């Protein structure tokens, strides 16, 4: 399927994808796809799910069965990083997550850490299984519909937090996946939804700032990087400045330490996020000089 056709006709794109999956099923099933075939199927499934606002065509169980058999085990050296990441999410958020957004983000974090490690050793030759691991996390995120285990209405801020994290994870994936696709429409859809989610309830947003400050910094940096809308970028940057002030950080390297605790592609984000930080810092200087 051509990128332009899919972007301009996502509904028909889903029909074509379903047809391709039917053919795969007729010749032995989804699990018979090779790595490149599986990568393409996952990529377009989450791509089209985002553009149409629907769940992916391929079932979560079917993808999980195939991918888990294909992917190598997570190396032991990542275990400490994974545990630190889970601690950042907070026990209350994880236990309140009835849709497993946190579980999908944990998969994405592992995938990005492996990508960072691999790119150090083989700059321009990324292992296909690492790409599939990243897209698998995206497929899981696309299936999530944030809900809470808590009957308490006060848990609204957790639902908004989970949805904001889910959208941010999708932005990370679409920003960094390694195939040349037209992404502007995806970025617009995701970043707009992220802004709406964050703006829709001032009390919930303030609660999130109070409870999940470092997560909020990651969300706003990724949002600023992924948005094609200048007004929206400026709003994200304003919030980055706010978060930096609360955290007491005043230089990029301090901010980077925090951001790298979350799903973060070093090669993709370092320069872009530093520029975003500098924009935030310069904006603050201009305000103080007025």
**Residue 65 is assigned to a structural domain of this protein:** no
**Residue 63 is assigned to a structural domain of this protein:** no
Residues 170 and 281 occupy one common structural domain: yes
What is the residue whose two structure tokens read 């074509």? 16
Residues 41 and 134 occupy one common structural domain: no
**Residue 218 is assigned to a structural domain of this protein:** yes
Residues 103 and 20 occupy one common structural domain: no
Q: What are phi and psi of 236, to 5 degrees?
A: -60, -45
Which pTM value belongs to this model? Answer: 0.85
Q: What is the pLDDT of residue 83?
A: 82
Q: What is the pLDDT of residue 88?
A: 81
Which H or E element spans position 240? helix 230-247
Residues 40 and 181 occupy one common structural domain: no
Scored b (16 or more CB within 10 A) or e, 195-206 reads bebbeeeeebbe
**Residue 23 is assigned to a structural domain of this protein:** yes
- For the chain of 290 residues, list the mean pLDDT of each consecutive stretch of 10: 58 74 73 78 85 84 80 81 81 73 90 81 60 88 74 67 92 73 79 92 84 94 94 95 92 95 93 91 47
d(CA 146, CA 13): 26
Domain count across the chain: 2
Hey, CA dihedral for 221, 207, 199, 172, is it positive or negative? positive
**Residue 154 is assigned to a structural domain of this protein:** yes
Cβ neighbourhood burial of 190 (10 Å; 0-12, 13-18, 19+):
buried
Residues 15 and 132 occupy one common structural domain: no
Residues 113 and 228 occupy one common structural domain: yes
Joined together, the tokens standing for residue 138 give 């995206």
Beta carbons within 8 Å of 57's beta carbon, 6+ residues apart: 14, 17, 18, 21, 45, 48, 49
**Residue 70 is assigned to a structural domain of this protein:** no
Residues 131 and 247 occupy one common structural domain: yes
**Residue 270 is assigned to a structural domain of this protein:** yes
Residues 81 and 208 occupy one common structural domain: yes
- Domain interval for residue 26: 3-58
Residues 93 and 222 occupy one common structural domain: yes
Q: What is the pLDDT of residue 178?
A: 46
């Amino acid at each position: 399927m051509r990128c332009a056709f899919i972007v301009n006709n996502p509904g028909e794109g889903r029909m074509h994808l379903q047809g391709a999956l039917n053919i795969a099923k007729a010749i032995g099933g989804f699990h018979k796809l090779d790595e490149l075939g599986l990568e393409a199927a996952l990529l377009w499934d989450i791509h089209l799910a985002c553009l149409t606002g629907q769940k992916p065509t391929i079932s979560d169980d079917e993808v999980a069965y195939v991918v888990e058999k294909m992917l190598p085990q997570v190396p032991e050296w990542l275990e400490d990083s994974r545990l630190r990441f889970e601690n950042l999410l907070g026990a209350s958020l994880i236990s309140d997550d009835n849709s497993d957004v946190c579980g999908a983000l944990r998969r994405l974090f592992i995938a990005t850490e492996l990508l960072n490690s691999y790119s150090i050793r083989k700059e321009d030759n990324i292992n296909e299984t690492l790409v599939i691991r990243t897209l698998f996390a995206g497929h899981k995120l696309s299936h999530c519909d944030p809900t809470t285990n808590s009957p308490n209405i006060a848990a609204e801020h957790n639902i908004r937090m989970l949805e904001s994290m889910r959208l941010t994870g999708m932005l990370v994936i679409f920003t960094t996946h390694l195939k040349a696709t037209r992404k502007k429409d995806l970025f617009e859809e995701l970043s707009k939804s992220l802004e709406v989610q964050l703006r829709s309830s001032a009390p919930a947003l303030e609660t999130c700032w109070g409870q999940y400050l470092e997560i909020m910094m990651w969300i706003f940096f990724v949002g600023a990087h992924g948005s094609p809308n200048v007004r929206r970028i400026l709003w994200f940057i304003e919030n980055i400045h706010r978060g930096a002030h609360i955290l007491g950080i005043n230089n990029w390297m301090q901010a980077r330490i925090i951001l790298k605790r979350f799903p973060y592609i070093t090669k993709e984000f370092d320069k872009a996020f530093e520029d975003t930080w500098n924009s935030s810092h310069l904006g603050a200087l201009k305000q103080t000089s007025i």
